[in-house]
Amino acid sequence: MNENQVEYSTLADQVRQNIKKRIINQELKPGSRLIVSHLAAEMGTSLTPIREALRLLVKDGLVEIVPHKGAQVVMPSQGQFKDLFQVRTVLESLAIKLAIPNLSPADYEKLEQILQAGDESIQAADPKTWLEADEKLHSYIIQKSDNNILAELLDNIRNRINIFRILTAQLPARAKRAQNEHRSVVAAMKKQKDKDAAELIVQHIENTYEVGISA
């Protein structure tokens, strides 16, 4: 691989990350068309890295190519969301079990800080900050599973179901319930009750799914 190929690959990945972030933040909503020439103009690039980035985002499950229309942000069906949540429950319960032996007192202090940030965001009626605290909590536990493949799979799934997290955050009663569920999960982990913690995270994820499909 020559130097130009390295630079091109890096640029395509930067474009990919930019579009991915905009999709996750709902700046680019499900069903939105992704016009290559418009994206290239916005980002100041040629068409080629845009096309490559979209190809990679198709693999990520965030973009789809629709015949006669081109690329657009994926709008998963209810059935697809159900499939994603089923896989997520299995993988996150595994992450909990793998993480517990790796967590130190300092880690539990960090989790408590994240929980406190979540409490404060609910009191301030700040759903965006609550989403950030929610993401940090799940991500921290997954990271502590010390399994890179598991973390990569869950990152892909959580990106694709982000709309459910947004719906949860916008419903104050559900956000409070989710926060209480977070605390129950962490409490069970701290007591080294891996089976209880895994069951609690499964229930938490299933509750999020129920809110999403009924919203």
The confidence score (pLDDT) of residue 1 equals 42
Domain hosting residue 19, numbered range: 3-73
Last residue of a domain, one of 41, 73, 105: 73
Same domain, 82 and 163: yes
Three-state SS annotation for 180-214: HHHHHHHHHHHCCCHHHHHHHHHHHHHHHHHHHHH
Q: What's the whole-number mean pLDDT along residues 165-170?
A: 64
pTM (two decimals): 0.78
pLDDT at 196: 97
Instruction: Give the model's pLDDT for residue 75.
Output: 81
Query: Is residue 152 classed exposed, middle or buried when 0-12, 13-18 and 19+ CB atoms within 10 A define those classes?
Result: exposed
User: What pLDDT is stored for residue 170 in this prediction?
Assistant: 67
Whether residues 208 and 128 fall in one domain: yes
Q: Which of 56, 73, 90 is the last residue of a domain?
A: 73
| CATH number for 155 | 1.20.120.530
Hey, is 23 helix, strand or coil? helix
Structure tokens given for 27:
């700046």
For residue 21, the model assigns a pLDDT of 86
Shared domain check, 184 and 123: yes
Q: How confident is the model at residue 128 (pLDDT cuts 50, 70, 90)?
A: confident
β-strands 63-66, 70-73 pairing: antiparallel
Answer yes or no: do 150 and 88 share one domain. Answer: yes
Distance CA 112, CA 102 (A): 16
Assess whether 28 and 43 both reside in one domain. yes
Same-domain pairing of 95 and 17: no
Number of domains in the chain: 2
Measure the CA–CA gap between 121 and 9, rounded to whole angstroms.
39
Q: For residues 54 and 45, what is the distance between their CA atoms, to the nearest angstrom?
A: 14
User: Does 53 share its domain with 136?
Assistant: no
Q: Which amino acid is at 129?
A: T
- Whole-angstrom CA distances from 105 to 4, 92, 95, 141 are 47, 21, 18, 14
Q: pLDDT at position 6, please?
A: 38
Q: Are residues 169 and 209 in the same domain?
A: yes
Alpha-helical (H) ranges within the chain are: 3-24, 36-43, 47-60, 78-99, 105-123, 127-144, 148-160, 162-169, 172-190, 194-214
Percent of the chain with pLDDT over 70: 91
| Lowest mean pLDDT segment, chosen from 111-125, 170-184, 189-203 | 170-184
Mean pLDDT throughout 10-16?
Answer: 90
Higher-confidence residue of 102 and 212: namely: 102
CATH code: domain of residue 27: 1.10.10.10
User: Is the pLDDT score of 206 beyond 70?
Assistant: yes
- Report pLDDT for 3: 43
Tell whether 180 and 84 lie within a shared domain: yes
Q: What digits encode the pLDDT tens for the residues 61-76?
A: 889 999 988 999 988 7
Q: Which of 23, 45, 73 is the last residue of a domain?
A: 73
What pLDDT digit, counting tens, does each position of 82-97 carry? 999 999 999 999 999 9
Q: pLDDT > 90: what percent of the chain?
A: 64
> Are both 104 and 48 inside the same structural domain?
no
Residues 35 and 107 in one domain: no
Quote the pLDDT of residue 72.
95
Asked whether residue 10 falls in the same domain as residue 29, the answer is yes
**3-state SS, residue 18:** helix
